[in-house]
Chain A
């Protein structure tokens, strides 16, 4: 008895060690490119070489951070991106969650039809010009809503959320309805709290997508005051390489140092948001409840 238990413990230990090693290896592998980005952004642009793999910055310089962060246009862009992200995430999550909840109810009549329609939109896309024309005809060009509204409905997220909402057992819904709740109340007071990890995940996805989205800022916005941060950053990168070719400058920066700094700046929301979301990855908050 004792011996077989001992052997069992050792077996578990070995496989566990392998798991830990593998996972740590992968973690470190994932840190490397990011570390490269960080080190490059802090390196002296005069010494920075593409693909130079090193542990510490090659000469220390905050030059590219200075360039990125001291222009008024950066903060303008930051404000725009902030706004579109907050509004877009709130609106998007609400609409997507409601849509997915409805479609997770197997008794919903139009279920199959709607899901087909949604999958169809994942597969078929009109392309840049037709999307532009729709946004133009709706009068959204050069407004912040052009950056928000087209992204409110995300069919991919909806499909994911359907699978998450589907995990809620029918018994909970039934007993709530017996108590007199309608579908909306079931959604708000039961489905949402029970699916918090899923919703937080989708919230993360939407927020990151909004934060990093570039093309809509290029195509739908003409006015410089409404350009989101990503557009400003890409312009900064472009002009750095062009500028260097055209004029001598005392504050020499390479496109690479700007690029890496820009990546850093772009990561800020996720670095802040993810730990918050992680807190909600708590197991088994579900189903204590209804039995029998």
Chain B
């Protein structure tokens, strides 16, 4: 007992010492936030060079999710945020949660008695969250404000704004992606060359099928073994990277059929797509592991040189970081529709996230001022090039990125601001991006923008709160994967799949969406 007691005393003493030393250094950030929404000022050990506040700068707090490398610095104490604060004359404090539970954090913050001035709404639930918080009058209606901020209203496209609306009013500023749709199908160049396939001639679904089939049967890597796969993908439950062919079959977008607005996954076109995918799977063209493999295994596969094609983000940054050259792959447009019209890679939204202002914010204009600057060309230069001296130099009026800073920290700067200038096709921003991504990168970016579109009717249809208790995706994902793998007979099971879906909240969803559609601006009258 004596021994244990003394250990306990020692431990207690040690922790008291530690607690004291913790309290001593960086103490100002440790204070419990009081109920004013203004937040605490930045102080920190390395702040000696900051000029003292001569006038009181307005202060804003923002809940955000910055999950990129901040080079060892604190998100609230680094050159980038200081630059922004100086340019906009606003003090910004970021509450940063970068764990995978950001949504949990968002909900607890919104349920707390101390709301920040602005919150980032992210991920698949951003629209539902926006609607919910707007309905409960916890977000500021921005209709009256946006027109006073020319960069925001001019540079962010109407389609992006429409996503941020609830009941016809704007409740958030969207972070519109500059790559309006990010995904492309990439095909191995040397395999195509080995089999004398001209990428420009791969246009229809049949063309693609024949090419992928040849990837399996004709030994494109010339090693004498039949060990190659046509295309890889991942299960519908995760990052669904299976949609190379989805829109080509007309199965990617919600459609108004016989007086009903139907989601894409119960359209008969979806059935056709499933049959096609099942064909690919059973013939060994589609990766046999796609059901169980985690998306993180994609790069293992790509660099193993056994896979002919894959669908991924146009940037191909992981591939390059691993030391490979992106010219190994050709970015391809999706196969055309059955009637010969061009198809697209359908992405979920033009916005990566949205920034909303809470009703506890005492200075809405300060927040919008920062965001308006972010959406300007000056903000664009900051985001894509960085800070002069640190990331780039100016020669003859042109911005030249420093060699070791090319492409670095764009994500950090984007997320620090929360909003960006999404138009990158003009100077000086275009040449800045070109320095980061190279000729082919810019080409692939343009191609991605050309081939991309949205599931418009699904995107703008309101998220009805009465539907939120239904779990719509579970049955769909299960059916999709089982169908592709061949565990079920698609023709035999299709009708009961649709009927069951309708019975379990589907009919209600169709009724509400159709009503909305009939009265909306998207009603084409057909």
Residues of A within 8 A of B (CB): 46, 49-50, 70-73, 79-80, 82-83, 86-87, 89-90, 94, 128-129, 132-133, 136, 139, 141-144, 188-189, 192-193, 196, 199, 214-215, 218-219, 222-226, 231, 234-235, 238-239, 241-250, 252, 254-256
Contact = CB atoms under 8 A, between A and B. Distances in A.
Given A86-B12, A199-B4, 5 more contacts: A50-B297, A86-B18, A87-B12, A242-B67, A247-B408
A183 to B, nearest CB: 16
Contact of B300 (A49, A83, A234): A49
B283 interface: no
B99 A72 contact: no
B1 A235 contact: no
Contacts, number: 152
A244 B299 CA distance: 11
B30 A245 contact: no
Contacts of B33: 141-142, 222
Nearest to B72: A71
25 contacts: A46-B323, A50-B297, A73-B74, A82-B18, A87-B19, A89-B11, A90-B15, A129-B107, A129-B108, A132-B112, A133-B112, A192-B1, A215-B104, A219-B104, A224-B76, A225-B26, A242-B68, A243-B67, A243-B68, A245-B318, A247-B317, A247-B407, A248-B317, A248-B320, A249-B69
10 pairs of A and B residues whose beta carbons are closest in the complex: A252-B321, A235-B98, A239-B67, A246-B411, A86-B15, A49-B300, A193-B1, A244-B318, A87-B15, A132-B108
A244 B410 CA distance: 12
B4 to A, nearest CB: 7
A193 B4 CA distance: 9
Contacts of A133: 111-112
Given A136-B113, A239-B68, A188 B1 contact: yes
Interface string B106-117: 011001111000
Interface in B6-53: 8, 11-12, 14-15, 18-19, 22, 26, 29-33
B411 A218 contact: no
B128 interface: no
B22 A79 contact: yes
Interface string B303-343: 00000000001010110111100000000000000000000
Nearest to A238: B67
B210 to A, nearest CB: 31
B72 A218 contact: no
B468 interface: no
B4 A196 contact: yes
A125 to B, nearest CB: 15
Nearest to B410: A247
A242 B99 CA distance: 12
Given A218-B97, A247-B408, A235 B72 contact: no
B99 A234 contact: yes
A218 B104 contact: yes
A243 B410 CA distance: 10
Contact of A246 (B294, B296, B323, B410): B410
Contacts of B496: none
B160 to A, nearest CB: 20
Contact of B12 (A71, A90, A231, A241): A90
A73 B112 contact: no
B96 interface: yes
A238 B65 CA distance: 11
Nearest to A70: B72
B99 A243 contact: no
A70 B99 CA distance: 20
Q: Which of A49, A90, A243 has the most CB of B within 10 A?
A: A243
B290 to A, nearest CB: 14
B225 to A, nearest CB: 20
A71 B97 CA distance: 18
Interface residues of B, number: 56
A142 B30 CA distance: 7
A226 B296 contact: no
A83 B4 CA distance: 19
Contacts of B75: 224
A218 B99 contact: yes
Contacts of B95: 222
A243 B411 contact: yes
A70 B71 CA distance: 11
Nearest to B414: A246
B54 interface: no
Q: Which of A199, A214, A225, A255 has the most CB of B within 10 A?
A: A225
B196 interface: no
Contacts of A215: 101, 104
Contacts of A249: 69, 321, 408
A222 B99 CA distance: 12
Given A244-B321, A246-B411, A218 B105 contact: yes
Given A244-B321, A247-B411, A192 B67 contact: no
A252 B297 CA distance: 15
B423 interface: no
B32 A142 contact: yes
A224 B29 CA distance: 8
Contacts of A214: 99
B55 interface: no
Contacts of A218: 97, 99, 101, 104-105
A104 to B, nearest CB: 18
A192 B4 contact: yes
Nearest to B75: A224
Contacts of A83: 15, 18-19, 22
B29 A223 contact: yes
Contact of A79 (B8, B18, B101): B18
B258 interface: no
B409 interface: yes
A70 B76 CA distance: 20
Contacts of B74: 73, 224
B317 A129 contact: no
Contacts of B322: 46, 252
A141 B380 CA distance: 37
Nearest to A71: B72
A282 B253 CA distance: 69
A177 B104 CA distance: 53
B411 A50 contact: no
A73 B108 CA distance: 24
A245 B321 contact: no
B305 to A, nearest CB: 13
Nearest to B321: A252
Interface string B55-98: 00000000000011100101110000000000000000001111
Contacts of B72: 70-73
A145 to B, nearest CB: 10
A50 B296 contact: yes
A89 B18 CA distance: 15
B100 interface: yes
B97 A246 contact: no
Interface string B466-503: 00000000000000000000000000000000000000
A21 B313 CA distance: 51
Contacts of A132: 108, 111-112
A109 B114 CA distance: 44
B294 to A, nearest CB: 7
